[in-house]
Amino acid sequence: MCKSKKMISRAVIPPSAKTKNPPPPFDPSTSGQIMSSSASTSSFYVNFNKDSQSWKSSRSSGRNSLSSLREALPEQPRIYDFPEIRSATQNFLQPPLSSSSTATSWRCVVRGQTVVVIQRKFRRLLETPELVERVAMICRSHHSSLIPLKGVAVSGNYIYLVYEYIHGANLRDALRNPRNPNFTILSNWMLRVQIVSDIASGLDYIHNSTGLGFDFVHNHIKSSSIIVTDPPLGAKICHFGTAELCGEIAKRNSESDVDVESNRKEMKFEGTRGYMAPEFQSTGAVSQKSDVYAFGVVVLEVASGTEALKYVVDEETGGYARISVVETAREAFDGGRIRQWVDPRLRDSYPVDVAVKLVRLALECLDDNPNVRPDTGQIAVRVSQMFLESQIWANKIGLPTDITLSLGPR
């Protein structure tokens, strides 16, 4: 409280009048500009006008001052009207940005801002107070590796999540161009380590650093849910808050054991093949450790350039053979053949010792026992160390470490 008062005093008093004319006490009806004291916190101080006339006018017009005060506040989380979403998507007839069995998304303009609207079905209907509380918490979270949630709309059994639009391509397509699978924009080792570092940092924030007193779980970590930005190339995690707002996470309260078990029986659980942890497949239990498992799969995708799971024709039997990046990585690691396993499009231009460390970390994340997997705090520290080691390697051989590429179509 004392710190806030000191900040107000410094912002208000001109240097020449610190002792002669002390400022009036803080009055919420006075006009001013709200300024954020930190990008990741919600504390603010008021920078009042220095003109003495503004003090007099603000005191005499309380309502106008409060109105301007609200306008100066950072954008608040919104509960959008459904007709507003329907109009923005042209009654949902606009060509979708992406579509799957569980979600459809559109790029559109809502209230003058370009956003991405994602339609998903509620897994468990939330009461209005609970939904509003969760939306407010998620919208207060800010991290450079997360795509911000702007707000939501609800219609029947469907929820429409409105996210900020970020220009770029998803990691799956960045690694394996749909038009030319042999081409990748991530042809430099430093770019790939940067991507892994950004994902680890964002996931650590989700699990441990929001400061909101809530144990968040992402539950949708996969290469198609990560955006590679342009420019500069970095990674941002999509869909933060989807699991919480769609009711995928069992309700938490003092009788959590009973409620969690009953919710698991009532809800069908869905996941993406290749990314689902063993305990999730057997029980449907969503946890931070299942996020860690999916992160391990994504790391192997980045290192190898191959997809998490694919089926190829077996020439001998004529059937289909299942190829998992997890299985091939384990075989290569145990056999000491990491160099042969890493993406050949990197042309052997990478520090082998760092690549081995990265694969080892990914395999630790993929342990069948969730209690053995490292937490995201440990992961972020280890990946940061690998990034520094990679930078030292790049500097020694004279490789550029600040490459800018375009994600435009080729």
Of 222-236, 262-276, 277-291, 353-367, the range with the lowest mean pLDDT is: 262-276
230 vs 43 pLDDT, higher one: 230
Q: What DSSP string runs through 97-131?
A: SEE-SSEEEEEEEETTEEEEEEEEE-SSPPPHHHH
pLDDT of residue 268: 55
Second CATH level (architecture) for the domain 167-248+272-397 = Orthogonal Bundle (1.10)
Q: What is the mean pLDDT of residues 320-342?
A: 95
What local confidence, expressed as pLDDT, does residue 10 receive?
41
pLDDT, one tens digit per residue, over 151-189 is 999 999 999 999 999 999 999 999 998 888 889 999 999
> Which residue, among 106, 54, 178, 194, has the nearest Cα to 186 in the 3D structure?
194
Neighbours of 363 (CB within 10 A): 17
Q: Has residue 54 got a pLDDT over 50?
A: no
* Residue 88 identity: A
Q: What is the pLDDT of residue 229?
A: 92
Bigger pLDDT: 210 vs 256: 210
Local confidence band at 66 (pLDDT 50, 70, 90 cut-offs)? very low
Query: pLDDT, tens digit, for every residue of 181-206?
Result: 889 999 999 999 999 999 999 999 99
| Residue 79 · residue 152 · CB < 8 Å | yes
- The rounded percent of the chain whose pLDDT value lies above 70 is 73
In this structure, what token pair is assigned to residue 307?
């997809």
- Picking from 271, 79, 246, the residue whose alpha carbon sits closest to that of residue 159 is 246
- 285: Cα separation from own chain's centroid: 21
Q: Which DSSP helix (H) or strand (E) runs through 4?
A: helix 2-12
- Of the pLDDT bands very low, low, confident and very high (cuts 50, 70, 90), residue 89 is very high
Tell me the CA distances in angstroms from 173 to 185, 225, 226, 278, one per residue in order: 9, 11, 10, 26
Q: Give the residue-averaged pLDDT of 345-350.
A: 94
> Which is it for strands 78-79 and 149-155: parallel, antiparallel or unpaired?
parallel
Cβ atoms 362, 329 nearer than 8 A: yes
Residue 95 pLDDT greater than 70, yes or no: yes
In whole numbers, what is the pLDDT of the chain averaged over residues?
Answer: 79
Q: Are 341 and 329 in contact (CB under 8 A)?
A: yes
The 10 Å Cβ neighbour count of residue 128 is 9
- Of 41-50, 106-115, 122-131, 268-277, which has the strongest mean pLDDT? 106-115
**What pLDDT score does 190 carry?**
95
CATH 3.90.226.10 fits 74-164, yes or no: no
pTM above 0.85?
no
pLDDT at 317: 80
Question: In the chain, where are the structural domains located?
Answer: 74-164, 167-248+272-397
List of long-range contacts for 343-350, beta carbons under 8 Å, 24+ apart: 343/184, 343/303, 343/304, 343/305, 343/306, 344/305, 345/182, 345/184, 345/187, 345/305, 346/187, 346/188, 346/189, 346/192, 349/188, 349/189, 349/399, 350/189, 350/390, 350/393
255: which 2 tokens? 């009788």
Q: Quick one: which of 191, 185, 197, 239 has its CA closest to 217?
A: 239
In which region does residue 348 sit, left (phi positive, over 0), alpha (psi from -120 to 50) or beta (all else)?
A: left
